[in-house]
Structure 1
Amino acid sequence: MKRLFALSLLLLTPTISQAAPSTQELSLKVVQDFVIPSYDAFSHQAKIQADAWDKTCNGDTLKPLFHNTSDAWAAVQHINFGPITLLLRRDRLYHWPERRNAVGKSLSKALNDKDNSLLSAKKITGASVALQGLPALERILYTDAIKDDYGCQLGKAIAHNIEEIANGTLKDWKAALPNIKEGSAHPIFFESNDEVAIRLFTELLTGFQMISDQKIALPMGSNLKKANGKRAEGWRSLRSTRYIQQSAKSLRAMALPFVSFLPEKSAEKTEQQLSKFVQLASTLPSPLKDAVTDEEARKKILTFRDEISKTRNLIVEEFTQHLGLTVGFNSLDGD
């Protein structure tokens, strides 16, 4: 009888939910586990690339290093918060999606004018943002510009500019880390840990939207007749599918520090969905430039796009419910 009474009390007692982590805990975990290591990897690859440009203009040597640097960039491409926003770093580093052929026009003018002052670190920093980053370097590497002496020197200047931006961004994130640990405002990048946590969560969601709305939708078009493979990201270097796959891996890596604070069942469900999302990305057809004009390939891409929405929606549901986070304005909302 006593056991039955005790069991009744246990069943009637409300379940105590796991306390939501503080925004300081969330901010510190994501910055330490994902943000700083990812920018560190990007800075490292950018330096290797720049050092190689000092020694050679051989495309066969430089192209693999461009891919490594671009892979590392893809890990943080969706972040438009914090040090990457200082001094127009993000725009200068990656002018994409490209409008009105800005990169092509800027590069063509530079190659025609052969202005040697552009080859200095100070001058290239003040040039058009379309000329300063990875998209411009891709064009030099994957066109005849690499064979031209001035084109070679311009590529070298751009590679070093990319390295400088990557190093500066990493340095500033490391410098901001004590503020996050102390829970204090940063004079430039954020006013509180609440802002850091919400912005990082929002940028995570932006990453899913970026894959769907830009990396896929732009070349796919609304139907087969309107598809245009040359609107795909990195189509010249055949990186379009690779960019999507690297972004998918990165979004999973960024989500996991958040997931570590979820209740066990929620964490397991979210991790399974993230793994499914990454696995499906690995099966995407390549090159995307050609796949978007193929009916069967488009079906595979659209299936993956559905998985993007499913994964993003689950993250929103779990993180807002269990972590006390809210979705903020993201950099794509105004597009």
Structure 2
Amino acid sequence: MRYLAICLALFLPLMALAQSQSEEIDDILDRHILPGFEALVEETGALAAAATADCTPASEPLRAAYNAAFDAWVRVSHLRFGPMEAENRGFALGFWPDARGATPRALADLIRDQDPVIDTPEGFATISVAARGFYGLEFLLYDPELSSAEPAAYRCALIRAASADTHATARAILSDWQGRYAGLMRGAGRNQTYQSYDEALRALFGALVEGLEFTADLRLGRPMGTFERPRPRRAEAWRSGRSLRHVQIALESQADLAARLSVSEPEARGRVTHVFDLAIARADALDDPGFAGVATPAGRLRVEALQQSIRDVDGLLRAELGPALGIAAGFNALDGD
């Protein structure tokens, strides 16, 4: 009897922990991941329909649909594991940064050659990821040269093909989440992908901190350049004036994920929410849609302050939330260590 009591005393806390972790994962899947990709499918479907109705780059309905779909992408763009990794889907939707200018070159080549590869969805899916997705469409809708490139009929077909391709890619990602990958996370400990709930939580934590690093180092770091040589035209989606908006949307989405990851750690959750709120407030106050202000000392200082706020969030997550989830302080989001 005493042996049984000892076993129960040891085993029941582990059962409670597993139950808590299982509920956290269910919550993140049902309220963060799956709704995010469902919204992406819906908005890319609207984009494809808008392009079919009117492929004119300056079309207000087309641009509105494009921006709504791009918003939906940014909200899930930190979830670059599992279905997003398969078949380079993440890059097919979001090939950025493009340090070598591959996107405009690939698009210009297609238009110049009037390449028939775009005539079928299967053919379009084989072209370079640089010419696909939201960043390729930004050039086709907002870049002065590519948005007016001739022949207009081919350019129109390319816009329609690219829009339809974003929808097909989004559907494939959601299908994988619904059909297989969500089940792997829910069934952690009973499959080889996630051999414990801890592993599943580490994957989610890794996506969170990697998303923050991406925003601080690339979304903000690239246009900042150096003090002597700022690079505002290296900002993400500056042609469509979306650079700051991406930071705002990403922070809001990542704040939601962080809150759900920290639900069982109320003290840490309060501090995490506070630092996210500070970073979001700083982004909201910036009023510099394309980060053109980094070319001035005062403008650069404001972007630097925002960057530091995001790094403060990242540091707090690593120092407090990570250890609470059983993740070492030296965790590297890029290699999973």
Aligned match for 1:255, one of 258, 271, 281: 258
Q: Which residue of 2 aligns with 1:232?
A: 235
Q: Deviations over 1:274-314 (max 9, x none)?
A: 22221111112313341110211111111111111111111
Asked whether the equivalents of residues 198 and 325 of structure 2 are also in contact (C-alpha less than 8 Å), the reply is: no
Aligned match for 1:197, one of 194, 201, 211: 201
- Tell which deviates more after alignment, 72-81 or 266-275: 266-275
- Cα deviation, residue 151, structure 1: 0.7
Aligned match for 1:274, one of 273, 276, 279: 276
- Cα deviation, residue 26, structure 1: 3.4
CA RMSD of aligned residues (A): 2.2
Q: Deviations over 1:13-65 (max 9, x none)?
A: xxxxxx86654343332222211111111111111101111111132221111
Q: Name the CA distance, whole Å, in 1 between partners of 2:335 and 2:94.
A: 15
Higher relative contact order structure (alpha carbons within 8 Å, sequence separation ≥ 6): 1
The SS at the match of 2:333 is: coil
Asked whether the equivalents of residues 108 and 146 of structure 2 are also in contact (C-alpha less than 8 Å), the reply is: no
Q: Given the alignment of the two structures, is residue 42 of structure 1 paired with residue 40 of structure 2, yes or no?
A: yes
In the alignment, residue 150 of structure 1 is paired with which amino acid?
A: Y
Shift of the 70–324 alpha-carbon distance from structure 1 to 2, 3 Å rule, reads: same
Asked whether the equivalents of residues 244 and 290 of structure 2 are also in contact (C-alpha less than 8 Å), the reply is: yes
Q: Which residue of 2 aligns with 1:82?
A: 82
Unaligned runs of 5+ residues in structure 2 are 1-15
Q: Given the alignment of the two structures, is residue 138 of structure 1 paired with residue 138 of structure 2, yes or no?
A: yes
Give the TM-score normalised by the residue count of structure 2: 0.86
The SS at the match of 2:264 is: coil
Shift of the 332–28 alpha-carbon distance from structure 1 to 2, 3 Å rule, reads: same
Aligned match for 1:179, one of 184, 190, 193: 184
Q: Which residue of 1 aligns with 2:10?
A: none
Q: Name the CA distance, whole Å, in 2 between partners of 1:26 and 1:49.
A: 33
- Cα deviation, residue 145, structure 1: 4.0
Q: Which residue of 2 aligns with 1:28?
A: 26
Q: Name the CA distance, whole Å, in 2 between partners of 1:321 and 1:109.
A: 50
Asked whether the equivalents of residues 259 and 271 of structure 1 are also in contact (C-alpha less than 8 Å), the reply is: no
Q: Deviations over 1:216-262 (max 9, x none)?
A: 11110121x31111110001111111111111111111111112111
Asked whether the equivalents of residues 185 and 191 of structure 1 are also in contact (C-alpha less than 8 Å), the reply is: yes
Q: Which residue of 1 aligns with 2:320?
A: 318
Asked whether the equivalents of residues 95 and 135 of structure 1 are also in contact (C-alpha less than 8 Å), the reply is: yes
Give the TM-score normalised by the residue count of structure 1: 0.87
Unaligned runs of 5+ residues in structure 1 are 1-18
Q: Name the CA distance, whole Å, in 1 between partners of 2:332 and 2:318.
A: 14
Q: Which residue of 2 aligns with 1:68?
A: 68
- Cα deviation, residue 329, structure 1: 3.9
The SS at the match of 2:76 is: coil
- Cα deviation, residue 134, structure 1: 0.8
In the alignment, residue 278 of structure 1 is paired with which amino acid?
A: I
Asked whether the equivalents of residues 92 and 132 of structure 1 are also in contact (C-alpha less than 8 Å), the reply is: yes
Question: How many residues of Structure 1 are paired with residues of Structure 2 in the alignment?
Answer: 313
- Cα deviation, residue 183, structure 1: 3.0
In the alignment, residue 74 of structure 2 is paired with which amino acid?
A: A
- Cα deviation, residue 149, structure 1: 1.5
Q: Deviations over 1:80-137 (max 9, x none)?
A: 2110001110111111000211001100100100112323101110001111111111
Q: Given the alignment of the two structures, is residue 219 of structure 1 paired with residue 223 of structure 2, yes or no?
A: yes
Q: Which residue of 2 aligns with 1:10?
A: none
Q: Name the CA distance, whole Å, in 1 between partners of 2:316 and 2:35.
A: 26
Asked whether the equivalents of residues 229 and 289 of structure 1 are also in contact (C-alpha less than 8 Å), the reply is: yes
- Tell which deviates more after alignment, 173-182 or 119-128: 173-182
Asked whether the equivalents of residues 21 and 197 of structure 2 are also in contact (C-alpha less than 8 Å), the reply is: yes
Q: Name the CA distance, whole Å, in 1 between partners of 2:187 and 2:95.
A: 35
Q: Which residue of 1 aligns with 2:121?
A: 121
Q: Which residue of 1 aligns with 2:52?
A: 54
Asked whether the equivalents of residues 260 and 267 of structure 1 are also in contact (C-alpha less than 8 Å), the reply is: yes
